[in-house]
Amino acid sequence: MKIKWLGHASFLVESKEGTKILTDPFEAGSYDGAVGYSPIHDEADIVTVSHDHADHNAVDSVGGSPEVVRGPERRTVKGIEIRGVNTYHDESRGQDRGRNTVFVIEVDGLHVGHLGDLGHPLSPEEIKELGHIDVLLAPVGGYYTIGPEEAKRVAESLGAKIIIPMHYKTEALGFPILPVDDFLKLMDEVERANGTSVEIDADKLPSETTVVVLDYE
C-alpha cells in the first residue's frame, strides 16, 4: 500500500492492485485563501468525505469519476471494505461544528483509519466500533480538531503502529492551529519520509508505534 499526502487532511491511498482512495479533498484557496495547498490533480476510484466543509469535501476537484463515500455505515466499494463511524467536529456533540465521520479502510491487509476533523476524545463505545487500526491518519493541530495530546491518546487507544499526522499548521495553511512539532515532541519514534509518500507492508509494521511525517504535495 502506498500513501501520499496531498495536504491538510487529504491523502491518496493506493492498493497493490492499483485501486485509489482519496480522502477529504480540499478546495484550494478556500476560506479566503487560508487553504493554500496546490489544487488536487489526482484521479481516484473512491473518495471519502468526513464532513461537508470546503477544506474536506471538494469532490469535484478529483478526477476519474470516483464513487463518493459519506456517512457512518459499512460498505464494499470497488472491492475495498470501508466502515464509517459517526463522531463529532467538536466537544459539544456537533452543536458547534456538526458531525464528523471516521473511516476505517481495509487495504492490502491493513486497517487504515482516517479521523477527519475529530473534535473530541473517543468514547469506549466508539473505540470498540472502530476496532484495531494499523495506520492512523490523525489531525494534530488542535483548535478545530483534537490537539497533540488527544491525538496521542486516540492513537494509543486504537493500537496504531503507524501514525501519519495531518491537519496541522504549515506554510501553506493560514488556520490558527499548531505545527506538527508540538505533536512530535510527545512521541518516541519519529521518521521523516523526506517526500510526499510512504509504502507500508502489512508484514513489516514497526514493533513500536512510529510517527511518519510526510511532505505535502
Q: How far apart are CA 180 and CA 140, in angstroms?
A: 7
Determine the pLDDT at residue 12: 98
The answer to whether 8 touches 173, Cβ cutoff 8 Å, is yes
Burial letters for 74-83: b for 16+ Cβ neighbours within 10 Å, e otherwise? Answer: eeebeebebb
Determine the pLDDT at residue 25: 98
Q: What tens-digit pLDDT sequence spans the chain (217 residues)? A: 999 999 999 999 999 999 999 999 999 999 999 999 999 999 999 999 999 999 999 999 999 999 999 999 899 999 999 999 999 886 767 677 769 999 999 999 999 999 999 999 999 999 999 999 999 999 999 999 999 999 999 999 999 999 999 999 999 999 999 999 999 999 999 999 999 999 999 999 999 999 999 999 8
Tally of structural domains, the chain: 1
Q: How far apart are CA 138 and CA 127, in angstroms?
A: 15
Determine the pLDDT at residue 44: 98
- One DSSP character per residue, 123-164 reads PHHHHHHH---SEEEEE-S-SSS--HHHHHHHHHHHT-SEEE
Cell 494509543 belongs to 156
Determine the pLDDT at residue 88: 85
Determine the pLDDT at residue 93: 76
Angle 48-50-56 from CA coordinates, rounded to 5°: 85
- CATH, residue 204: 3.60.15.10
Determine the pLDDT at residue 90: 66
Determine the pLDDT at residue 94: 63
* Grid cell of 60 as nine digits: 469535484
**Parent domain of 154:** 2-213
